[in-house]
Structure 1
Amino acid sequence: MLIVFWLSVFFVIYSYAIYPFILKLLVIGKKQNNVFYDENELPLVSVIIAAYNEESVIVEKLDSVLQSSYPDDKLEILIGSDASSDKTIPLVKEMSQKFPLIRCFDFSERRGKPSVVNDLVSHSKGEILILTDANVIFSSGTIINLIRHFKNQSIGLVDTHMVNRGLKKEGISYQEKAYISREVQIKHMESLIWGTMMGPFGGCYAVRRGDYSDVPPHSLVDDFYINMKVLEKGKKAVNELESVVFEDVSNSMRDEFRRKVRISAGNFQNLGRFRQLLWPPWSGTGFAFLSHKVLRWFGPLFLILAMVSNIYLAKHCVFYSFTLAGQLLLMFGIPFFDWILKKINIHLSVVRLAVHFYAMNLALLVGLFKYLKGIRTGVWKPTPRNQ
């Protein structure tokens, strides 16, 4: 039980703290790709948007793409409605009459984002594909800063830098922002060291047409699948911090929990599909995949093992009585304390961060059970917009 306890504790700490520290050492002296397209040789770009009931954001989204500094004659926008029941399609058609580079596809059957994206890609003409969500708003330099890296033929995928909007102190948006910012840093270091960024920000990233792979039916995390297929082909996946996009960060614990459950189930889907990339573990892909993703996905099981083994050890050693008390305090005491504070409108970020950590690990565990039970559809309800 002693070995089980300390290994479980180590794996949790390793994924969240030790691995990022190792990256900070390895990244010293590493430089970003500097093989860029000249302005007179820019490729044709297809912006791919799968939309479901996005009337509240679709006009702002299209305006942000149209106002990009990328040349209009090198750009096309394809929007596919996944059987929307609101005004998404009428709004898009109205804009397409003013801007011919917008192409609209109204699919009558609700199939889920991956199937819509696959269809849109088959209708696109661009050498480079930008896959983006309707609620992710572009800056003027988003496209050009993404696309310039594809001059380097070793690069197959480039990620954007998502900046959060709509932060509220009373919810979990600040904790989500902290988590996302840390993830951006980790992925940036992975891309600089090995070119093996572990998954893009799913709301907006670019992939070379020749490196795009159709996403299988019933897939729940399509962006990670596409990313890993790029790495499987021996190409690099990197991110570009100057390619800025904006998104409202989630503020509702309930909505974010539901989203994380879906992502967790999709993560285990992809683990089954790409488990061969864990070997050899000393390669950039294998090391990053294991350290950044796989150990973190199994984090809930490590937390459970640490608790169970700690209960046994506490019966035989006073020291482990204190570690058990600490675990119980973190897992149950702090969430209860946070609940009391919220009742009197007090919001402590440190306390909320601990609650967020355990809630997201619970979502990982629920997602694992959902995966083991079997995934029968790739359709899901999007997180509410403009929270």
Structure 2
Amino acid sequence: MLTQLFYIGLSLVLIHVTVPLLYYFIILTYARKPWVIGPVNINEEELPTVSIIIPTYNEEGMIIGKLDNIVEQGYPLGKIQVIISDSSNDNTQAKVEEWLSNHRGVNLNYIKGPRLGKGHALNKALESALGSIIVTTDADSLWVKGSLLNAVKWLANEQVGLVSCIKTPRGGGLTEDAYRRLYNALRVGESKVHSSVVFHGELLAVKGSVIRSIGGFPTDIGADDSYTGVKVASMGLRAIIPRDVVCVEYVPSNGYGRWRIRRAQHLLQSFMKSIKLPKPSSYRPVYYTEAYIHLVNPWLLPIGAILLLASGNLWAYALVALGVVLLAWPSFRAWVTQQFILMYAMVRNLWTKELVWEKINK
């Protein structure tokens, strides 16, 4: 019996390790390959109109920097509509009005409403959006200059329905840096296969006709960004993350763990909601492997480790001890940390979806 426990535990740990490693090796190989599609160069006169939606809640400390960042993108201001969908009870509105008084050339709509969740705020703003391209963005993030124009150029390709960004973390330390380097490469590689599975609220650009055809953004889950991307991909369009669309993501110093768990909860909600959607054949290997890695694979690690220890085998103790030592390696530590975050997020989703959450200052 103890021998069986050893081999079962070892098998689970090996599956936990080898499936993601094999998948990542394949996807990282694609990340280094050239694109089979590309952006379309557009003359300034032909650039489409863009509606930029910013859902806000108590962003008085960040909103001015966000608005400045949009103006500094270099996209023609006459073709930009900014819509702030706000549910704040601080001085966000006053800050916006003060900023707008010094930027008369900016077309800005301010919508005030109750706090019902991000999806509701986005859909409320979508009713007033006039642009042929809809861009959603978080108030507490910044775009690297040129990213908006680059996203629009990718969307000019008739095969592309949605574009999101890679993310550069500001804060979080070595673990977050190691996690993001791998994460960004995977998102680009998946996009080169067909489409990614994870998308980002820091910059999500979608054709207006496409987002309206699917009824807007989901309101019953927290991952409006990722679910919308998968939904677009399920239509046969490409939903991609290229390297020239880049956002700076502020990582909270206080409440970092709660922040990571909430984000994991929302991503898992996206998988659970989107798993039954039809997928193009070239997208299925990416989507279903990522669904397995997020929903099933995390549980194999602790179950396998427990079975190894229960076997009483000296080799089992040595393997578990090796795993503990490897935690000193930032990439391995980032991976293990993410597994436990995913497991806790799955359990937490049983009693709360965190659709309206306590704000964490960054």
TM-score, structure 2 length as denominator? Answer: 0.88
Cross-structure match for 2:261: 261
Query: Is 2:218–2:228's contact at 8 Å kept on the other side of the alignment?
Result: no
1:319 aligns with 2:311: no
Decide whether aligned partners of structure 1 residues 43 and 272 sit closer, same or farther in structure 2, where only a CA change above 3 A counts. Answer: same
Among candidates 216, 219, 222, match of residue 218 of structure 2: 216
Other-structure match for 1:363: 341
Q: Give the AA of the match of 2:107.
A: L
SS at match of 2:197: coil
Aligned to 1:242, the other structure's residue is in SS state: coil
1:95 corresponds in structure 2 to: 99
Quick one: structure 1 residues 382 and 286, their matched pair in 2 at CA, closer, same or farther if it must change by over 3 Å? farther
Query: What is the identity, as a one-letter code, of the residue corresponding to 1:324?
Result: V
Per-residue CA deviation, residues 143-199 of structure 1 (Å, 9 max, x unaligned), is 11110111211111111232233x4xxxx42211221121111111111122x1121
Listed one character per residue, the Cα deviations across residues 247-268 of structure 1 (whole Å, up to 9, x for unaligned) are 323444xx22212222232233
Partners of 1:162 and 1:29 in 2: CA distance: 20
| Equivalent in 221, 242, 250 of residue 240 of structure 1 | 242
1:5 Cα deviation from its structure 2 partner: 2.5
How many pairs does the alignment contain? 352
Structure 1 residues 320, 159: closer, same or farther in 2, change over 3 A? same
Conserved in 1, the CA contact under 8 Å of 2:55 and 2:86? Answer: yes
Percentage of matched positions with identical amino acids? 22
Maintained 8 Å contact 1:191/1:237: yes
CA drift at 1:208: 1.1
Q: Hey, what's the Cα distance between the residues in 1 that align with 2:157 and 2:285?
A: 24
Whether 1:86 aligns to 2:85 is: no
The SS at the match of 2:64 is helix
Whether 1:207 and 2:206 are equivalent positions in the alignment is yes
SS at match of 2:248: strand
Give 1:353 deviation, angstroms. Answer: 5.3
One-letter amino acid of the counterpart of residue 128, structure 1: I
Helix, strand or coil for the counterpart of 1:156? strand
Deviation at 1:29, TM superposition (A): 4.3
**Structure 1 residues 240 and 324, CA, compared in 2 at 3 Å: closer, same or farther?**
closer
C-alpha RMSD over aligned residues: 2.5
Contact 1:114–1:215 under 8 Å retained in 2: yes
Residue type at the aligned position of 2:361: P
Give the alignment partner of residue 21 of structure 1, picking from 16, 25, 34. 25
SS of structure 2 residue aligned to 1:184: helix
Does residue 381 of the first structure (1) align with residue 355 of the second (2)?
no
Q: Does 1:186 align with 2:186?
A: yes
CA contact (8 A) 1:45 1:75 kept: yes
Secondary structure of the residue aligned to 2:165 is strand
Over residues 191-244 of structure 1, what are the superposed CA-to-partner deviations in whole Å (9 max), with x where a residue is unaligned? Answer: 1122x1121222112111122242333412111111111111111011221223
- How do 1:337-356 residues align onto structure 2 when only pairs under 5 Å count? 350=328, 354-356=332-334
C-alpha distance after superposition, 1:333-385 (max 9, x if no partner): x6xxxxxxxxxxxxxxx45655544443222222111222354x610123312
Deviation at 1:2, TM superposition (A): 5.4
Q: Is 1:174 aligned to residue 170 of structure 2?
A: no
CA distance in 1, matches of 2:306, 2:279: 31
SS at match of 1:79: strand
Equivalent in the alignment of 2:58: 53
Structure 1 position 130, deviation (Å): 1.0
